[in-house]
Amino acid sequence: MARRARSAAKPNRPVALVTGAANGIGRAISLHLLDAGWCVMAFDLPKTRLVQQFRGWARSAATIEGDVADEDTVDEAVRLTLDRFGRLDAVVANAGIMIRRPIRRLSLEDWRRVLDINLTSTFLLARAAQRALRSSKGSIVTIGSARALMSEPNTESYSASKGGLLALTHALAISLGPDIRVNCVSPGWIATADYNKLKRKDHAQHPAGRVGKPQDVAKIVAFLLDREKSGFVTGANFAVDGGMTRKMIYVE
């Protein structure tokens, strides 16, 4: 079950529930929204230092620890968000894992775990949050991957989950519209560790001239959550990959 970790006053500001919020892209999205005046319910697994990440945002942020692939936990997370903040304007389905190994060694348990976290959790979130989001004329943003469009070896479960997420996004956009807009952001190489350790060739291979940063994803997510700026956008996929999915590569 979800566990409430921090409190926050009920705001007049918009409220987002962000999964996988303790690190990387999810943390960047959460902090960007907080800086932009949102309140954020950050959702991640226990033992991810989630509470510490948002300790300085006591008035605007709260945290929930639990498994995003568990049906009861997701329902409780939405309930706790509404209990704490009194409203819900956005869901950012960012939580995801990768198990990368040859298919001959990929167990059914591993396959199911990746799909549960990366794909099924988004269905659970959309179902649990749709009533509140209809009331607020809110938005859902799913965080996919360039691997929904192209693959590397030994990524079957991850690629399948992200491909399914892309299809789920446009299905939800049709089913939940016009009250709720649903879009997907598909990152490419986003460096979540020490950016300065990247090599020149890492940047040079990108048509944009550099490897991506978590903030690159956070900015477009914030745009898609803003009905004034993106109210005519739904069911769409945005590749934030420095142009790599459009780059034709030949081996000489």
pLDDT at 161 over 70: yes
pLDDT-derived band at 5, boundaries 50, 70, 90: very low
Q: Using a pLDDT cut of 70, give the percent of the chain over it.
A: 96
Residue type, 228: E
Q: 43, 68 in Cβ contact below 8 A?
A: yes
CATH of segment(s) 3-246: 3.40.50.720
pLDDT at 8 over 60: no
What phi, psi does 181 have (nearest 5°)? -95, 145
Q: 183, 237 in Cβ contact below 8 A?
A: yes
Q: Spell out the residues 6+ positions from residue 104 whose beta carbon is closer than 8 angstroms to its own.
A: none
CA distance 87 to 79: 10
The 10s digit of each residue's pLDDT in 80-122 is 999 999 999 999 999 999 999 999 999 999 999 999 999 999 9
Q: Determine whether 250 is an active site residue.
A: no
What is the structure's pLDDT at 249?
85
What is the structure's pLDDT at 105?
97
Catalytic residue (choose from 119, 158, 214, 224): 158
Q: 151, 157 in Cβ contact below 8 A?
A: no
Q: Using a pLDDT cut of 90, give the percent of the chain over it.
A: 87
Side-chain half-sphere CA neighbours of 18 within 13 A: 32
The 10s digit of each residue's pLDDT in 17-51 is 999 999 999 999 999 999 999 999 999 999 899 99
What is the structure's pLDDT at 11?
64
Q: What's the rounded mean pLDDT across residues 224-251?
A: 95
